[in-house]
Chain A
Amino acid sequence: MSDFDPGRRRFLGHLGLAGLGALGASSFLSACASSASGPTTSNGSGAVTIQSNLSSPQAKAAMEKLIETFNAQGKGTASLNTIASETFRTQLPTYLTSANPPDLYTWYAGSVANDYASKNLLLDVSEVWKSLDDYPQSLRTLSTDASGKQIFVPMNNYWWGFFYRKSNFAKWGVQEPKTWTEFLALCETLKSKGVPPIGIGLGDTPWVASAWFDYLNIRINGAPFHRELLAGKQRFDDPKVKAVFTRWREALPYFDPKGKAYPFQEATTALLAGKTGMFLIGTFFADAAPKDALGDLDFFRFPIIDPAVPLAEEAPTDGFFASAKTANPTGTKALLSYLAGVEAQEAYVKASSGIVLPANPKAKASDSPLVAKGKAMLNEAKELTQFFNRDSSDALQPTADTALTKFIDKPDQIDAILREWQAGAEKVFKG
């Protein structure tokens, strides 16, 4: 699941990009751009091609196992293409618009999927959903496009929270905070003990800052406003958005100053080594943690700021969608039904390394207290959001990265930053 994550894709991205610089600038761009109409892999007659960005070793092996099992069942044949994540991300529009596209793709639920649906590029998978009666309504809504048909089949989701080491909190004699006031008090205590309270990793992974923005916004203005903002129906220079940053500023003095320079993987190391107190991050960070530290990890939900705002949590959902142009819709749907089933989801959770919750409510997640706590937190939430880029688009994410890292550096310039952000966002929405 680690590769499903937006930032992980970017982190791996620079490896894949190395070769690009070798090409001449202008011819390189147009060569890539004009290849959009070129054919990609042909799926032939029978086999369903599944294009997967799950390129980390465990996730890749887990997918291979799933496809092997599916092929052995005799309901159809499928072949797996695993693609480096950054390549996958940049090539996805090309795949979907090519004349002879692969059939099935790993991707994210939310706006990122609905955008493709609105361009009629995705297969209607309502039929698959008919057998997914027991899936929660929230996942069904998330997988439904603007015209009311299902276009996405979820595989699993995970959560974000403030992670910390139980042994360290015990050593410092502190408890999980529930409210923003308690949270700031906790920060103050940690700071007085000489520990930078809040870890962050923005070097190379600036998108991590978006979790702060998302959470503050859904705690202060609520999830509906957040979604509208990310869809371009509200403005970033709105006073309601500024209120988010006013709150954020209260916590800024407690951020680890080194966090600007290193990526979230190193922020994880710092947290585990007790060099920071806590870290707002998604569960995928545990991939970078040594196994013996996992038992010592715990988390608390992002503190409540306004109790009147319905509780919402970030729960990015990963799964699959299919090309509308697939030559084999029956086989594709059969594979999707299999992937949505209890057996496949349990097998995937078991084989992959991360802390994930299977989408199928009957499938068992791994039985650690941490996973149980995460699941309970999501169940308690009235609303689930995905993550900044998934609730908007990958195109909007860089505007957030620029605005948020600048705010962390220069909080005085917040008005100018928000104006720039709005201008940048308008360009993205305009296309």
Chain B
Amino acid sequence: MAFVLVPFAVESVWVFWPAIQGFWFSLTRWDGMTPPTFVGTDNYVELAGDATFRGALVNTVIWLVLFGGLSVLGGFGMALVLQKERRFVGFYRAALFTPVVFSLVVTALVWRVFYQPDGIADTLLRAVGLEQLIRPWLADPQTALYAVILPALWRQIGYVMVLFLAGLKAIDPALHEAARMDGANAWQRLRHVTIPQLKGVNAVVLSVIVIDSLRSFDIVWSLTKGGPYHSSELLSTYMYSTAFQSLRLGYASAIAVVIFVLALAVILGYLVRAFREEAS
């Protein structure tokens, strides 16, 4: 019993209680100094009419789709390519995983050099004769968000690849063997053997991707701080700047609650479906 109670007590203090408090703060107006005043659903009403919040929500969805989708595709693709033991495969895997090891701040510094005016990106474009495409990547509202997604992907693909590699290793080779005997081609084996076998890993990957997307903060903050003029703002950066720059902690808590609900909805949706399939 103590094995459950001790972690539960720790969780209660460090996770559940602050989370519940977050809900309470979202119903208040609070500057962090004077005591919070209860304002009911004012913060949520304001959220509904806040153009910056809507922009951040749209950007977060774009982020979820692009960052999540591409890192699953990229990670899965890389895992398939690199699952077979052959020469130098360890080197390639390590190379793809390396970005995960770097601190995100270091990552941001490197990518900043890449994007800076007359930096590597511009030099490359000039070298291939596409200089008309050159723009201030991180300072142009048209490109800022995508310029930030790229480094995030660069990092995430290696991570997702490792998860999938572990999953692929766990598939019984006999299944593939049998499928091959039955005359299944590579595509059919992928579709009907590999992917169904990865179901457990998929749940993990999906949770990781959704959580990572919604909490993506560091890379955006280090590269653009959500700017220029909110064009690369995500819910997480908007929450941070509202809380710690504008000192509107009640409103920021309301944003945090929205993030929480979004994460919960996506993950619960998946879990419910997964359970239903299992039951049937």
Binding-face segment, A26-34, A165-173, A228-236, A290-298:
A26-34
Interface residues of B in 86-129 (CB under 8 A from A): 103-105, 108, 115-118
Q: Knowing A14-B222, A29-B252, A405-B229, say if A96 contacts B33 (CB, 8 Å).
A: yes
The answer to whether B117 touches A428, judged by C-beta atoms less than 8 angstroms apart, is no
Nearest-neighbour CB distance to chain A for B240, whole angstroms, equals 7
Q: Report B-chain residues with C-beta under 8 Å of the C-beta of A20.
A: 217-218, 240
The answer to whether A14 touches B105, judged by C-beta atoms less than 8 angstroms apart, is yes
Nearest-neighbour CB distance to chain B for A94, whole angstroms, equals 7
The answer to whether A30 touches B21, judged by C-beta atoms less than 8 angstroms apart, is yes
Nearest-neighbour CB distance to chain B for A396, whole angstroms, equals 8
How many interface residues does B have (CB within 8 Å)? 62
The answer to whether B141 touches A409, judged by C-beta atoms less than 8 angstroms apart, is yes
The answer to whether A24 touches B21, judged by C-beta atoms less than 8 angstroms apart, is no
Which residue of chain B is the closest to A404 with respect to CB atoms? Answer: B229
Specify which of B22, B136, B217, B246 is in contact with A395 (CB 8 Å cutoff).
B246
A204 within 8 A of B: yes
The answer to whether A30 touches B253, judged by C-beta atoms less than 8 angstroms apart, is yes
- Annotate B221-236 by CB proximity to A: 1 below 8 A, 0 otherwise: 1100101111000011
The answer to whether B228 touches A27, judged by C-beta atoms less than 8 angstroms apart, is no
CA distance A394 to B247 in the complex (A): 9
B244 within 8 A of A: yes
Nearest-neighbour CB distance to chain A for B114, whole angstroms, equals 12
Specify which of A25, A97, A420 is in contact with B215 (CB 8 Å cutoff).
A25
B280 within 8 A of A: no
B216 within 8 A of A: yes
Q: Report A-chain residues with C-beta under 8 Å of the C-beta of B217.
A: 20-21, 25
A287 within 8 A of B: no
A363 within 8 A of B: no
CA distance A397 to B247 in the complex (A): 12
Which residue of chain B is the closest to A203 with respect to CB atoms? Answer: B139
The answer to whether B253 touches A260, judged by C-beta atoms less than 8 angstroms apart, is no
The answer to whether B117 touches A206, judged by C-beta atoms less than 8 angstroms apart, is no
- The residue in A21, A119, A206, A258 that gathers the most chain B C-beta atoms within 10 A of its C-beta is A21
The answer to whether B215 touches A90, judged by C-beta atoms less than 8 angstroms apart, is no
Nearest-neighbour CB distance to chain B for A183, whole angstroms, equals 25
Which residue of chain A is the closest to B244 with respect to CB atoms? Answer: A90
- Annotate A42-75 by CB proximity to B: 1 below 8 A, 0 otherwise: 0000000000000000000000000000000000
B56 within 8 A of A: no
CA distance A15 to B140 in the complex (A): 23
The answer to whether A406 touches B229, judged by C-beta atoms less than 8 angstroms apart, is yes
Q: Report B-chain residues with C-beta under 8 Å of the C-beta of A262.
A: 116-117
Nearest-neighbour CB distance to chain B for A40, whole angstroms, equals 14
Q: Report A-chain residues with C-beta under 8 Å of the C-beta of B227.
A: 206, 401-402, 405
Q: Knowing A26-B22, A26-B257, A29-B22, say if A119 contacts B230 (CB, 8 Å).
A: no
Could you show 13 A-B contacts with beta carbons less than 8 Å apart?
A: A14-B221, A21-B215, A25-B263, A26-B256, A28-B256, A30-B25, A33-B249, A33-B252, A94-B32, A206-B227, A260-B140, A398-B241, A405-B227
Interface pairs A-B: 4 shortest CB-CB: A30-B22, A21-B218, A261-B136, A21-B217
Known: A90-B244, A93-B32, A206-B228. 18 other contacts (CB 8 A): A17-B218, A17-B221, A18-B222, A19-B218, A21-B216, A25-B235, A25-B263, A26-B256, A32-B243, A33-B21, A93-B31, A202-B228, A257-B136, A258-B118, A261-B116, A403-B229, A405-B229, A409-B228
